[in-house]
Amino acid sequence: MHATPAPLADVPAPVTGSADIRLVVTDMDGTLLDDAKRVPAGLWPMLAELRRRGVLFSPASGRQYATLAREFADVAEGMVFIAENGTYVVRDGVELSSDPLEPAVAADVARTVRRLAADGVDVGAVVCGKRSAYVERSDEAFLAEVRKYYVEHRVVDDVTAVDDEVIKVALFDFGPAERSTAPALEAFAATHQVVVSGEHWVDVMNRTANKGAALRGLQRELGITPAQTMVFGDYLNDLEMLDAAEWSFAMANAHPEVVRRARRIAPANNDNGVLRTIAEVIGIPLRRA
């Protein structure tokens, strides 16, 4: 049982229910979804009302595009999906932008993961292509984690030889990724991004790739300003995205650095913080179903 949800906190500007918001962008895990990975009650009627008012709702996640598209299948028409931590942006099945990783870099990361595993680290690589994700580990414990974020995935003999355009390499570490796997990837940080995207996940991407860059590109495309943009996040892969919106919210359960970076604090993901905040800022009644 959760405690009574706290009100919106640390809001430097009045929340009147009449803000001119045209774009709502939210991370998924630890932000929109609760800790059990459940969609919050009231999301679907909220999305219908946002659409009626001309407000675009955009999921922005480290998850694969196919995974996001399946989650929102009934309402996906016209929705922009910022997938794979901003490396792949899609609307109505059409690519809006992408930031592919050089095959040689993806292969080097995969080989590094192999060495870590040989040294006893319980880790596996997910090579993320536009069509599918690719893994070498086939044990059920690892695949169970992969399935949560990558609906389209294949077990292959060699992830360095896949025939796909690779946009990211994700590493799942059964231990604390920020303290174990991430430091082992420091050599890549000199030329690429090494981002801790969750307690057990680390992503290697191009320096130019992040949710913030994808969001700024979308804002330019649609003619939407940061002042008309509301963003929610909880982890380190959300930092640049928060910088792209004047209405930036860290969840109450967010990483300390995210709390420092955001302009405002929203209730925790387990307290339906995203929908409660949208309802209060834009002035939309929050319905449970």
What are 90's two structure tokens?
Answer: 């899609």
Nearest in space to 106 (alpha carbons), one of 23, 170, 153: 170
Burial of 226 (C-beta count, 10 Å sphere; 0-12/13-18/19+): middle
Classify burial at 92, counting beta carbons within 10 Å of its beta carbon; exposed 0-12, middle 13-18, buried 19 or more. exposed
Q: Which two tokens stand for residue 193?
A: 């991004």
Q: Identity (one letter) of the amino acid at 222?
A: L
Q: What is the CA radius of gyration of the chain?
A: 19
Residue 82, classed as helix, strand or coil, is strand
H/E stretch holding 205 reads strand 201-206
Q: For 144-148, what is the mean pLDDT?
A: 95
Distance CA 221, CA 224 (A): 8
72 token code pair: 């929102």
Q: Which of 286, 285, 275, 229 is nearest to 8 (CA)?
A: 275
Average pLDDT, the chain: 92
Neighbours of 230 (CB within 10 A): 25
**pLDDT tens digits for range 121-144:** 999 999 999 999 999 999 999 999
pLDDT tens digits for range 214-255: 999 999 999 999 999 999 999 999 999 999 999 999 999 999
DSSP run (H or E) holding 146: helix 140-149
